[in-house]
Chains A and B, each alone.
Chain A
Amino acid sequence: MAEDLGKIAEALIAGKVEEVDKMTKESLDGGVAAEELLNKGLIAGMDVVGQRFKAGDMFIPEVLRSAKAMSAGMEHLRPALAESDTKQAGTLVIGTVEGDLHDIGKNLVGMMFEGAGFKVVNLGIDLKPQVFVDAVKEHKPQLLGMSALLTTTMPKMGETINALKEAGVRDQVKIMVGGAPVTEEYAKEIGADLYGANAASSVDKGKAELGL
């Protein structure tokens, strides 16, 4: 069994999405505990991916493929993990604020969070504050990510935070902001909890904030 878990981890490191998907399902059906599969299979693999990425031995396209494999495996595990009360990474809701059509940066962040085992709800681009408010109410995420690439749309992040406050849901969620013109200082100014300078560090900061 430990051998199987090792194989899942290896397939995940190699970015073999279909294999991870299939092997996770088979192991789960074969009676391996979801928690075991998560920790010794998927997370063990992603830990190696994370180390290799930081060491410069793996690159974004490879990491994203591993993250996709992780996400495929998690689909099978999530219901069982919920049943067994296992601590899970949680949910990230992410989107680009109103007036801004830039898509790719926040998608990268979302994919990296999937790699960390999060369930990711990607709301899209050009989103009115109310869309974020509704999504927080609906998905009850632990983290809310907002992106803006333009100095003209940056203020919308603050407006969205205010809308969350007015709706009484601001404190239910940790808010992370990012985008080329955004800074740590600006994040503080508008009342966000976290600033993500890039996709990888956003995941590190998000996990740390949630105590994962």
Chain B
Amino acid sequence: MEKMNQTIQKTPQFRVLTDQQIEKIYFSALEVLERCGADVFQDEAIELFKNSDAVVRGNRVRVPVSLVERALKTYPNKITLKGRNGKRSVALQKDHVYFGTGSDLPFTYDRETGERRRTLYKDIVNAARFVDYLPNYDFFMSHGIVGDAPNPLTYDRHQFMAMLEGCTKPMVVTSVDGEGLEDIWKMACLFQGGEEEFRLNPMFVAYIEPISPLTNDRTAVEKLLFAAEKGIPAMYTPCPSSGATAPATIPGMLVQSLAETLLATVLCYLKKPGMPLIMGGVTTVMDMRTTTYSYGAPELSLASAANTDISKWLGLLMFSTGGCTDSKAVDEQAAAESTLSVLNAFLSGANLVHDVGYIDSGVNASLESLVMNEEIIGLVRQIGKGINTDPEYLALQLIDEAGPGGEYVTKDHTYEHWREWYFPKLQDRSDWETWCDNGKKTMLDRVNEETQRILDEYEPEPIDDGIRKDLKKIIDDAEKRHSK
């Protein structure tokens, strides 16, 4: 018989902030927007604010609480992304967690030379292939910035092309400016069946960031306004570094970061209510020995989990961070830091967890790191399965049958349930002798072999020739416009 007053926990529960703590942070962020405000360096945005209840003095915009709260009511609780493979595979909604890479790394670790060098078009295609192949990755960000494009003002179209070449999954994209985003969106619309269909089946989320503290530059705002106009999902993700561009206390950083986010929610609302805006925040510390913006600090994980708690309280979807490291190499440090942030981001219930595979504090890209993190994400997802206490799982009858001194390895129950365990691909659980016979390989050896195997073997679904022609035309037109 089932007992009364049960509480059953299907998955682990993880929170770092209570509702009351979130209220404190939220009310403080509102205070920031009324008292201090933010700078906005874009004419249309300034006009939109001027024609609203906001108070504008020069480039400084201050926003009353009532306007913020009106804006907050307009954002969707669910955004579904559809890759060029036709699958609506990323359904962003509360506590649904998806993992993906980060973008725009200026350097790539070169497997042949063992050195880091500028990231090239082919590197983006390769990273795209890996993300397409590895099942624990749900979405793709470029993992690098194309360094061999003809013009720095149009590199983003080439970068997106490289992403499309290698990957059929949904994406998060960066762009140079509003015009760049428009071209990329047009390129994506070719796969989704036009601009209207894109609104229901967006292929990507546009990554946009303000400059902390409380500064919004022209190109970022331009992109945000374009996304709002066309209904393109976007995130406006502050990247404060605690102790440098934000207070050295995590709550202080969260307050400032939230004020930056709230300003964007108001701006998008003024442009066109209801755009699919996602909350963001790469919230970490500046290392006080090196001045590095740390991607491996435990504070990154803690502050990001707090931000996710805040996002859920606000009813916004969350773009978070994990699987990254300050280490220059894929080594023990990389493994430890990546694991910590993947686990915390996952447990927090953040929706898009990006920057998986970053090494060298967000400067250097590594395919090996993508492969290692595939395994880490696998481990972590297993924790999310939680513990089932139904009778079948308590296995009372089975224990009785086996009895003292019995065994379980031949039981049907075992046969039926062992596949629910996590089965590692790259971790070694063999005995010493077997390990020696197989060449005493370390995790890194196995990661390297798997990386080479995927590089050699995996081919993604090609792009249709007709679409390829249209994609090329959009890129060529952009080059022509910018060569004048």
Contact = CB atoms under 8 A, between A and B. Distances in A.
Interface of A: 56, 59-61, 101-105, 108, 151-152, 154-155, 180-181, 198-199
16 contacts: A60-B286, A61-B243, A101-B211, A101-B217, A102-B211, A108-B244, A108-B291, A151-B106, A151-B145, A151-B155, A152-B152, A180-B362, A181-B363, A198-B290, A198-B291, A199-B291
B469 interface: no
Which label, helix, strand, loop or mixed, suits the secondary structure of the B interface? loop
Given A104-B245, A151-B152, A152-B153, A60 B289 contact: yes
Interface of B: 41, 104, 106, 145, 147, 152-153, 155, 176, 211, 215, 217, 241, 243-245, 286, 288-292, 362-363
Given A101-B211, A104-B244, A59 B291 contact: no
A151 B104 CA distance: 9
Listed from nearest, the 5 A-B pairs whose CB atoms lie closest are: A59-B288, A181-B106, A60-B288, A101-B217, A104-B244
Contacts of B211: 101-103
Contacts of B147: 151
A11 to B, nearest CB: 22
Nearest to B248: A61
Contact of A152 (B176, B215, B243, B362): B176
B290 A155 contact: no
Contacts of B243: 61
Contacts of A101: 41, 211, 215, 217
A108 B145 CA distance: 26
Nearest to A64: B288
Contacts of B288: 59-61
A59 B215 contact: no
A170 B245 CA distance: 33
Q: Which of B145, B245, B286, B291 has the most CB of A within 10 A?
A: B291
Given A104-B241, A198-B290, 13 more contacts: A59-B288, A60-B288, A60-B289, A61-B288, A101-B211, A103-B211, A151-B145, A151-B147, A151-B152, A180-B362, A181-B145, A198-B292, A199-B291
Contacts of A181: 106, 145, 363
A155 B152 contact: yes
A48 to B, nearest CB: 17
Contacts of B155: 151-152
A180 B362 CA distance: 9
A102 B104 CA distance: 17
B28 to A, nearest CB: 22
A145 to B, nearest CB: 15
B291 to A, nearest CB: 6
A211 to B, nearest CB: 26
A108 B287 CA distance: 13
Nearest to B211: A101
A133 B286 CA distance: 32
A31 B211 CA distance: 49
B102 to A, nearest CB: 14
B289 A56 contact: yes
Nearest to B116: A183
A59 B176 contact: no
A98 to B, nearest CB: 12
A104 B245 CA distance: 7
Contacts of B152: 151-152, 154-155
A41 to B, nearest CB: 26
A108 B243 CA distance: 12
Contacts of B292: 198
A105 to B, nearest CB: 8
A60 B241 CA distance: 14
Nearest to A62: B288
Contacts of B291: 60, 105, 108, 198-199
Nearest to B241: A104
Contact of A180 (B41, B106, B289): B106
Nearest to A63: B288
Nearest to B153: A152
A180 B244 contact: no
A104 B241 CA distance: 10
